[in-house]
């Protein structure tokens, strides 16, 4: 082979080798990347967006109902009858037309206001003021509804033994 021929064949090979070396040098250069944009912080407000507020998870507390006490019947207070009681002596203190109490069948009546109204006369009533009028009243009016009602509306108490 002649020198001339070697030169013609060797030149392209040298060129290829030189290019390869150049390319290799380039790829080994440190690549400086631009700084990555920092991610927006969670607290920074983004225009056009509402900042989500922290959701509050409701705390469900199990409430144990208080024990129901057994139903105790409330005793209804029985109103005590305020019955006035009279003795014979107390009754005797009302033996006039100005204060006429009489007792008929154990009950005591104030018939003072009825004296001037009695259809059978005031005297018939005054006979029983301050005393037991059972015999006279029952003898005259026993079983008659009207005298009975007239008496009932004037009841003030009951007789008691000393």
Please give the residue ranges that form the binding site for ligand HEM (CB under 6 A): 102, 111, 114, 118-120, 124-125, 128, 133, 136-137, 140-141, 146-147, 150-151
In the sheet that 84-86 helps form, which strands lie side by side, from edge to edge? 84-86, 155-159, 107-110, 99-104, 95-96
- Shortest Å, Cβ 74 to ligand HEM: 43
CB nearer to ligand HEM: give 88 or 118.
Answer: 118
Residue 128: which of 146, 150, 110, 152 has the closest Cα?
110
CB nearer to ligand HEM: give 86 or 137.
Answer: 137
- Shortest Å, Cβ 68 to ligand HEM: 58
CA angle 53, 54, 55 (to 5 degrees): 105
- Shortest Å, Cβ 156 to ligand HEM: 13
CB nearer to ligand HEM: give 90 or 110.
Answer: 110
- Shortest Å, Cβ 94 to ligand HEM: 13
Maximum separation of any 2 CA atoms in the chain, in Å: 187
Closest residue by beta carbon to ligand HEM: 120
- Shortest Å, Cβ 83 to ligand HEM: 20
Positive or negative: CA dihedral 153, 156, 158, 159: negative
CA distances from 105 to 76, 92, 157 (A): 32, 16, 12
The residue behind tokens 């060797």 is: 10
CB nearer to ligand HEM: give 67 or 143.
Answer: 143
CB nearer to ligand HEM: give 130 or 147.
Answer: 147
C-alpha 3/C-alpha 9 separation (Å) is: 10
């Amino acid at each position: 082979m002649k020198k001339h021929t070697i030169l013609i064949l060797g030149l392209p090979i040298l060129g290829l080798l030189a290019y390869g070396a150049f390319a290799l040098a380039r790829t080994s250069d440190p690549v400086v990347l631009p700084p990555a944009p920092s991610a927006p912080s969670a607290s920074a407000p983004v225009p056009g967006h509402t900042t989500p507020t922290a959701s509050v998870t409701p705390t469900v507390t199990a409430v144990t109902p208080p024990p129901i006490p057994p139903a105790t019947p409330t005793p209804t207070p029985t109103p005590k009858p305020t019955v006035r009681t009279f003795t014979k002596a107390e009754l005797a203190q009302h033996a006039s037309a100005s204060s006429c109490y009489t007792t008929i069948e154990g009950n005591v009546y104030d018939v003072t206001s009825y004296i001037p109204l009695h259809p059978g006369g005031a005297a018939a009533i005054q006979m029983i003021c301050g005393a037991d009028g059972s015999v006279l009243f029952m003898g005259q009016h026993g079983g008659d509804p009207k005298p009975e009602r007239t008496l009932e509306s004037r009841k003030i108490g009951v007789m008691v033994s000393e």
